[in-house]
Amino acid sequence: MKNIITTIAMFILVFNIKAQVIKFQFDTIQYIELQKGKSLKENVDKNLINYSGFGYGRVDSCELNLDLRFAVFTGDTVMIKKVNYNSDGVKIEYQDQTEFNDYTFLYNYDNVKKRKYILYYKNNNMSGGIAYVK
């Protein structure tokens, strides 16, 4: 009887541990500004992205816990407000904990370069960054 209960408990535990946690790192980020009033797709399709510099030299790490709806960006934890899945990745929306700005964060796959990338921007002024994942 003890073995049956243990087996059932292990089955339930394994069944429930399908957590969607994505962890990655990047080290060089290219800062961008998107055109206000246009969607991300419109900005990309019409090449409206303005590159405003780059940062390198420090490794940033990210963890997206899509089940528990939180993200950790180099030690700062934020609550995820919205999650959208697509065939190549995931898009989340969150609010920072210091100035309460709303952000959009995209973790996706570049079919041309065959690499994962991240793109984020602040919703009110459409400024952010893009980087390839290590």
Give me the pLDDT at residue 33, please: 95
Q: Using alpha carbons, list the distances in angstroms from residue 71 to 13, 23, 24, 51.
A: 24, 10, 12, 26
What range does the domain containing 37 cover? 23-54+62-132
Is there a domain that residue 17 lies in? no
Is there a domain that residue 47 lies in? yes
Give the residue ranges of the chain where pLDDT is below 50.
9-17
Is there a domain that residue 127 lies in? yes
- pLDDT per position as a tens digit, 93-124: 999 888 899 999 999 998 888 999 999 999 99
Is there a domain that residue 8 lies in? no
Is there a domain that residue 6 lies in? no
Is there a domain that residue 97 lies in? yes
Q: Which long-range contacts (CB under 8 A, 24 or more apart) does 87-90 make?
A: 89/116, 90/22, 90/64, 90/66
Is there a domain that residue 4 lies in? no
**Integer Rg of the chain from CA:** 18
pTM: 0.78
The total domain count for the chain is: 1
Is there a domain that residue 15 lies in? no
